[in-house]
Structure 1
Amino acid sequence: MTSLLDPNAVLNRATERLAARFEGIVSAETVERVVFESYAALGRTARVTDLLPPLSEHFAHERLTALAQSKGLVAKPHPEVLFVCVQNSGRSQMAAALTTMIAGDSVHVRSAGSQPGEFILPNVREALTELGLDLTQEYPKPLTDDVVRAADAVITMGCGDACPLYPGKRYEDWDLDDPADLDLDGVRRVRDDIRARVERLVSEITPS
């Protein structure tokens, strides 16, 4: 179903809200560019166009925060971890959710895909629901330079060299099966493997 609202008008209002929130940190022109870029990027894969404007505002907010952090304009109270896989519909989503479960507020987590898919895989949702983790507010997001620059640790999973390398960051590549090719039991095994890796990562990057 197509929204009766003019997307440009909705995005302009989102730009105004974010420009006010980031006033003195990021220019209004940059805010506008990031909002409309985010809308265009998500629109390449989104199935439900009615959700695009609010998702675009959320995604733009994350990108603007990351941009400000990478330039030292906004403090990073906790380590920033970025998980990247190909579609951001399986492995990286599981890693992000499990990190939040294990680390709580002591780590800030983002996830992205080098070629984001249309939706989070149903078996991934089911495997995380079994642990009490809800992904209803999550969605596949494209990989952008700003979130890489803001990260302290970048964990890749099957996306090759799609992620740019910057000095001073921790990079790891986790060799994991793609949940898209697995049944629910297979996804559970990947989930448990990721959980063990996340527990190690969190113990190493957070203060004791």
Structure 2
Amino acid sequence: MNGKNTIQPTPSPPDPGTDTAIPALDRHVLERTAAHLHERYARVTDRPTVDRILTEAYREMARRATVKTHLSLLAGNFADSQLRALGLAQGIIESPLPRVLFIDDANAGRSQMAASLLLKHSAGQIAARSAGLTPAGHLYEDAVTVMAEISIPLDHAYPKPLSLDVHRAAQHVVALGCAGQVERLPGQDYRDWDIPNFVGRPLRDIRAMRDDLERRTLALMREIEPPALRLSA
């Protein structure tokens, strides 16, 4: 679409013969996870689709991650997020919370920080997610450092690809330095925050960008906050 990064649906299921590439222990964990996910999202989709989403999540993370531990757990978390987004996009799952999606290039710094700041300041009364156009293998260490300084840990965060279902489920989409590459879907509120990439920048600059992100997320929160959040303020 006019040179933009068009989001593709979840790919077709892999050839079963390629499952030998997944270690036996991880295959066992993935099978149990798939059963739990299908039980939770039976109204949303069927078991083969759950298996496909989970397997593709595992393979994508295994391909990108620089640290290979806990891949099956991370794939389960990502698949859970995907299935919930699918249910929201289809109207099967209802949520009273405003839904915000932050997108940047690598989902390794800016977008993760913005989502964490919004979740923290809204006390969970706004659903915030993040995704990357070309996810990195791990979070930027400096991003983890500057967020820890304000007591918002990113230790368990990980880069995630932008999927069609997650994109469709969002009500508000914030592009961080990549607006020209993000497809605009009907009925969504789009914003462009000009926050530059962290790579190669000194820590003091990243702290300043963190503070800028905090100001912007607070302003966004005040604009879209649900009535319950206003009453508790």
TM-score range, shorter chain: over 0.9
1:48 equivalent in structure 2: 67
| Partner in structure 2 of residue 76 of structure 1 | 95
State whether structure 2 residue 124 is matched by structure 1 residue 105.
yes
Q: Select 2:189's aligned residue among 158, 164, 170.
A: 170
Q: Under a length normalisation based on structure 2, what TM-score does the superposition of the two structures give?
A: 0.84
CA distance, structure 2, for counterparts of residue 19 and residue 66 of structure 1: 14
Whether contact under 8 Å (1:79, 1:205) holds in the other structure is: yes
Aligned to 1:38: 57
Question: 1:44 deviation in Å?
Answer: 2.0
Q: Residue 43 of structure 2 contacts residue 92 of structure 2 at CA under 8 Å; is this kept in 1?
A: no
| Counterpart AA for 2:169 | A
What does 1:1-208 align with in structure 2 at a 5 Å threshold? 5-207=24-226, 208=230
- Structure 2 distance, partners of 1:4, 1:72, is 36
How big is the shift at 1:25?
2.5
- Is the Cα contact below 8 Å between 1:85 and 1:159 reproduced in 2? yes
Superposed displacement of residue 160, structure 1: 4.0
Deviations 1:97-118 (A, max 9, x none): 1111111121011101101111
CA distance in 2, matches of 1:68, 1:26: 8
- The one-letter amino acid paired with 2:37 is L
What is the DSSP-based 3-state SS (H/G/I as helix, E as strand, rest coil) of the residue aligned with 2:123? helix
Give the percent of matched residue pairs that are identical in Structure 1 and Structure 2.
34
CA RMSD across the alignment: 1.7
Structure 1: runs of 5 or more not aligned: none
What's the TM-score once normalised by structure 1's chain length?
Answer: 0.94
Instruction: Determine the C-alpha separation between the residues in 2 that align with 1:138 and 1:119.
Output: 9
Unaligned runs of 5+ in 2: 1-21
CA distance in structure 1 between the partners assigned to 2:63 and 2:221 by the alignment:
34
How far apart are the structure 1 equivalents of 2:24 and 2:170?
Answer: 36
Decide whether the 8 Å contact of 1:91 with 1:178 is kept in 2: yes
The question of whether the paired residues in 2 share the 8 Å contact of 1:148 and 1:164 is answered with no
1:106, 1:160 → 2: CA distance? 26
How many aligned positions are there? Answer: 207
